């Protein structure tokens, strides 16, 4: 029996062992889904604290419960930092970060290091799937040569696919199962194996002609959002100068039943995708002598939003006879989007850093992030402040950066002396509320 035929049979009968490499916001929900339908799952991560927590039935992601981890453990899941155990797996799904370096160029170090960690343990009859967002050609040009260095032929003995992650933490309307899965294989046989892998856990698998097409699809999704958010952020600045409420305009435009999709302004872009992924295409396009002007312009607008917001804070304080230097400023919400605990690339981090540089005394309140754990670029020795009449009245300014539903907005309005609202949460004008 051909290796592909045997592997497809194992996957369809749910007898295959699934290896999830990278147990973060993408890998952990995927692990739970494979475990839920009856696969034996082995999780890999370089962080021993994550491995120990999972094996003890603890969670480190707010929207994933300890009960869900415990159920997966009872169904055979285990976590390890020993990458030599990749040989035990029939499928290896790579869910590792793909950040930018300081020059806004792709940093594939996690993908490369992970691939090289599993290469010594690869064997015939395995499928390797990359889920990390990256530039078109990565699977063919970066992964394929490394896995074929084993002597195994891709498409005949070993199978290689790209299937970009599509997660929306905090959105109860969609789950790992219900979000359609885009998939492209290096060869048609690889694609068929990939369909067998994901078809057991995802309601709809959308197959494409190549890994490059699948890689480009993910970039298009995030570029679409980045460009439109950049547009509406630019319009926000224009509307502020014209004394027009941009949120009122967006609400009115959204009543059009065709040809318009509402996007909303904010203090900048956040999360692991939209601030980063478009520049993977910008970088790759240069290889073909092309300039991606829309992407670059949107990136420039979005990257400048934190500084613009800080300027609005300074103006609002000045109008009350205060300077930023020495003012007590509480940032509401430091996660990158509402109702989650994920701080990756959150514009709140940059807002806090800019305000601190100008001499402000910074505090924050976020019900989803009780303690500020150091990040790659930012470190604040702070804990979340409870929202009470006393804590609000003790500020000079409350900066609403992330509009979590758990905030008591009536309480904030009643007791904060100044509110700078970057999310349009307060629709009715009030003397102490400034839009930013």
Q: Annotated catalytic sites, by residue?
A: 273
Number of Cβ within 10 Å of residue 120's Cβ equals 11
Residue 33 and residue 37: Cα distance in Å, rounded? 7
Q: Which residues of 125-152 are buried (b: 16+ CB within 10 A; e: fewer)?
A: bbbbbbbbbbbbebbbebbbebbbeeeb
Helix (H, G, I), strand (E, B) or coil at 214: helix
Q: What is the spatial distance between Cα 284 and Cα 74, in angstroms, rounded to a whole number? A: 44
Q: What are phi and psi of 312, to 5 degrees?
A: -65, -40
Separation CA 37–CA 34 (nearest Å)? 6
Q: Tell me the two tokens of residue 109.
A: 């170090």
| 3-state DSSP of 422-435 | CCCCCCCCCCCEEE
For the beta carbon of residue 368, count every other beta carbon within 10 angstroms.
20
- What's the rounded Cα separation, in Å, for the pair 1 and 341? 48
Q: In the beta sheet, which residues pair with residue 397?
A: 329
Q: What is the DSSP letter of 338?
A: T
- The candidate with the shortest Cα–Cα distance to 139, out of 109, 107, 111, is 111
- Copy the structure tokens of residue 419: 């509110």
Cα 246 to Cα 110, 237, 251, 255, 264: the distances in Å are: 40, 9, 9, 15, 9
Beta strands 181-185 and 158-162 are antiparallel
Tokens at residue 404, please?
């979590």
**Strand pairing category for 361-365 and 328-332:** parallel
Residue 29: C-alpha distances to residues 19, 63, 95, 206, 423 (Å): 13, 10, 11, 20, 29
Residues making up the chain, counted from first to last? 436
| DSSP bridge pairs for 161 | 129, 185
Residue that is written with structure tokens 């460009």 in the block: 227
The answer to whether 345 touches 276, Cβ cutoff 8 Å, is yes
DSSP 304-321: HHHHHHHHHHHHHHHTTT
């Amino acid at each position: 029996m051909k290796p592909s035929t045997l592997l497809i049979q194992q996957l369809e009968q749910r007898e295959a062992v699934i290896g999830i490499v990278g147990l973060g916001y993408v890998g952990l929900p995927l692990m739970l889904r494979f475990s839920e339908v009856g696969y034996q799952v082995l999780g890999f991560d370089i962080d021993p604290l994550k491995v120990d927590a999972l094996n003890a039935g603890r969670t480190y992601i707010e929207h994933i419960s300890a009960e869900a981890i415990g159920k997966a453990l009872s169904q055979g899941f285990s976590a390890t930092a020993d990458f030599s155990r990749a040989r035990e797996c029939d499928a290896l799904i790579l869910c590792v970060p793909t950040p930018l370096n300081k020059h806004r160029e792709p940093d594939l170090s996690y993908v490369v290091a992970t691939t090289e960690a599993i290469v010594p343990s690869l064997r015939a009859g395995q499928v390797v799937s990359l889920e990390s967002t990256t530039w078109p050609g990565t699977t063919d040009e970066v992964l394929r040569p490394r896995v074929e260095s084993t002597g195994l032929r891709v498409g005949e003995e070993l199978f290689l696919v790209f299937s970009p992650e599509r997660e929306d933490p905090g959105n109860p309307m969609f789950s790992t199962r219900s979000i359609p899965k885009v998939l492209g294989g290096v060869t048609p046989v690889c694609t068929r194996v990939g369909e067998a892998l994901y078809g057991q856990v995802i309601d709809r698998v959308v197959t494409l002609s190549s890994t490059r097409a699948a890689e480009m699809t993910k970039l298009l999704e995030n570029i679409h959002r980045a460009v439109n958010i950049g547009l509406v952020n630019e319009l926000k600045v224009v509307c502020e100068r014209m004394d027009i409420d941009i949120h009122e305009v967006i609400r009115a435009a959204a009543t059009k039943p065709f040809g318009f999709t509402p996007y909303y302004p904010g203090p900048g872009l956040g999360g692991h995708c939209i601030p980063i992924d478009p520049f993977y295409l910008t970088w790759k396009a240069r290889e073909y002598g092309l300039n991606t002007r829309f992407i670059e312009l949107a990136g420039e607008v979005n990257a400048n939003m934190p500084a613009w917001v800080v300027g609005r804070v300074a103006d609002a304080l000045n109008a009350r006879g205060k300077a930023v230097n020495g003012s007590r400023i509480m940032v509401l919400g430091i996660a990158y989007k509402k109702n989650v605990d994920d701080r990756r690339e959150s514009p709140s981090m940059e807002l806090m850093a800019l305000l601190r540089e100008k001499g402000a005394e910074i505090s924050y309140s976020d019900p989803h992030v009780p303690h500020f754990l150091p990040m790659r670029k930012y470190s604040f020795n702070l804990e979340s402040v409870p929202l009470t009449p006393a804590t609000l009245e003790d500020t000079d300014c409350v900066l609403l950066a992330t509009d979590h539903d758990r905030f008591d907005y009536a309480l904030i309005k009643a007791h904060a002396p100044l509110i700078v609202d970057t999310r349009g949460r307060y629709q009715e004008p009030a003397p102490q509320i400034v839009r930013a």
